């Protein structure tokens, strides 16, 4: 999230997303962590479309 704060400092519009998972959601295969991002992707897509459609403006 630091990069989002830095972008905001320079006046660059950003959207930040964080995904919470439980241990049962994390699957390890060959040293690779496999996490399902489909639901987060769906929500982010809706948020981004609304932001672009409504043209949210910077508040000072």
Q: What per-residue confidence (pLDDT) applies to 16?
A: 83
Residue 45 DSSP SS3: helix
Query: Cα(2)–Cα(27) distance, rounded to whole angstroms?
Result: 27
pTM above 0.75, yes or no: no
* Position with higher pLDDT, 11 vs 21: 11
Buried b (16+ CB within 10 A) or exposed e, 3-40: eeeeeeeeeeeeeeeeeeeeeeeeeeeeeeeeeeeeee
pLDDT of 14-52, one tens digit each?
888 887 777 776 766 666 777 778 888 999 999 889 888
């Amino acid at each position: 999230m630091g990069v989002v704060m830095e972008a905001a400092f320079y006046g660059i519009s950003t959207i930040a997303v964080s995904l919470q998972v439980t241990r049962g959601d994390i699957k390890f295969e060959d040293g690779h962590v496999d996490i399902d991002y489909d639901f987060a992707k769906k929500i982010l897509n809706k948020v981004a479309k609304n932001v672009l459609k409504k043209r949210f403006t910077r508040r000072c």
